[in-house]
Amino acid sequence: MTAIVDLADLSRELGTDFASDPYPTFAELRRRGPVHRIRMARGTDGWLVVGYDEVRATLADPRLSKEWRRAAEKLRKLRVSTGYHMLGADPPDHTRLRRLVTREFTPERLRSLAPRVQQITDELLAAMLSAPEGRADLVTGLAFPLPITVICELLGVPHLAREHFRTWSNTLLGPAPPEEKQSALRLMKEHLVGLVAAKRETPGEDLLSALITTADEDGDRLSPDELLATAWLMLVAGHETTVHLVTNGVLSLLRHPAQLAALRADWGLLDGAVEEMLRYDGPVLTSTFRFTVEPVEIGGVVIPGGGELVLPVIGDAHRDAARFEDPERFDIRRETRGHLAFGHGIHHCLGASLGRLEGAVAIRSLWEAAPDLALDEDPAALSWRGGMLIRGPDRLLVRWR
């Protein structure tokens, strides 16, 4: 019988705080082996996969399903249904859903957003840096409003709804009790139902209007339920990861002044710096759940079939010395090819290029507007988001002259 690991207990044994720095805990597990049974929320067990090769293989393994109907009965209490969208579907349904979305979520549409991303960033920085006390929370001033504004404009979501979406999204992706998640999901769905109805009545040039009408060569189109689920997915995934790419990236640069100086001396390093931010302390700590449809052997450990929960740790894959030399070092000149921050396999993030664009624009514009930017709080005292999925501080206080 495989021993069950409690991550909080192991972190305390190592003398570390899991929320603020989970990497030592995962490194210790990787030292012991690539696969471990862990105690999940509300007393449920799952299987944790660590190590670059094992995580990468797990993300693309067809024996691991993304569909909750494949989950064991004992796991159903963990589910908060967000509808049937491509992130929670297997082929052939996944292939169909992704194809319909990709018809409208095109590279050309995303490239055309670049000037608007820059304009929004400039406006947000002007407002943030006008604070008379010369200090602000980077999350509320820039990291959150930039991607939520971009994805809401892309989809055609009215401005006044955006703060609500932030609250609902944080609840759904965090460690909130199931009843709070269900309430947030209900409120978000009610809002989206009204929004879709309005778009059907008066379509615009936005992506949501296009998704309502798009069809493939055979006339197939998204059903009403699939459309709602897809809108939810794009709103949440379209801003959550970028919020913490920017926040974690700024924190990493401020904690590594030599790297920041090198970047400011040569903005040609910016694209590589963004990739290193994604690797070193990226916004996604673990993937979303997967479920075994048959026994799966990973690193010599056989995980039973029958819907066992499997959780690949993307953050640990990026700290594996077998793949990245001296992985604990933040180095914007590093070769980061092959990182898994946007996933791997058929579920690779459709909006990866948009996230990279927003991250690069935010980072460069921030230091061009505030070259003396500095932390305004002790990094050791930061409060980090709970849960295993999204990683980032709740706030990041910065100051400037």
pLDDT tens digit string along 306-360? 999 999 999 999 999 999 999 999 999 999 999 999 999 999 999 999 999 999 9
Q: Which of 142, 170, 301 is nearest to 236 (CA)?
A: 170
Split at pLDDT 50, 70, 90, the class of 388 is confident
Query: Quick check: helix, strand or coil at residue 16?
Result: coil
Q: What is the pLDDT of residue 176?
A: 77
Position 1 scores a pLDDT of 52
Residue 312: both structure tokens together:
């690949």
Statement: residue 379 has pLDDT above 70 = yes
Question: How many helical (H) and strand (E) elements, i.e. helices and strands, does the chain have?
Answer: 16, 11
**CB half-sphere exposure, 77, CA atoms < 13 A:** 8
Most confident of 36-45, 166-175, 249-258, 348-357: 249-258
Q: Which of 152-166, 182-196, 364-378 has the highest mean pLDDT?
A: 364-378
Average pLDDT over residues 19-31: 95
pLDDT over 70 (residue 70): yes
The residue that leads in pLDDT, 155 or 163, is 155
In this predicted structure, what is the pLDDT of residue 41? 66
Confidence at residue 327, expressed as pLDDT on a 0 to 100 scale: 98
Give Cα 385 to chain centroid, integer Å.
12
* Domain spans in the chain, listed from the N-terminal domain onward: 4-399
Structure tokens at 123: 């406006």
Mean pLDDT over each residue of the chain, to the nearest integer? 91
Please give the pLDDT value at position 160.
60
Share of the chain above pLDDT 70, in %: 98
* pLDDT given for residue 195 in this prediction: 85
Q: What's the pLDDT tens digit per position in 181-225? A: 888 888 888 888 888 888 888 888 888 898 888 766 677 888 888
CA distance 285 to 332: 20
| pTM for the predicted model, two decimal places | 0.93
Nearest to 61 by CA among 329, 342, 343, 261: 343
Dist. CA 65–CA 293, nearest whole Å: 7
pLDDT, position 239: 84
Q: At which residue do the structure tokens 């190592």 appear?
A: 14
The Cα–Cα gap between 202 and 200 comes to 6
pLDDT band at residue 294 using 50, 70 and 90 as cut-offs: very high
Question: In angstroms, rounded to a whole number, what is the distance separating the alpha carbons of residues 87 and 98?
Answer: 9
> What pLDDT, on a 0 to 100 scale, did the predictor assign at position 397?
97
Identify which has the larger pLDDT, 274 or 207.
274
Give the Å distances, CA to CA, from 73 to 181, 303, 352, 399. 20, 17, 34, 50
Q: Does domain 4-399 match CATH 1.10.630.10?
A: yes
Taking alpha carbons only, the member of 304, 311, 307 closest to residue 5 is 311
Residue 346 DSSP symbol: G
End-to-end CA distance of the chain: 59
Separation CA 195–CA 174 (nearest Å): 25
Q: pLDDT tens, 87-140?
A: 999 999 999 999 989 888 787 888 889 999 999 999 999 999 999 899 999 999
More confident residue, 267 or 111: 267
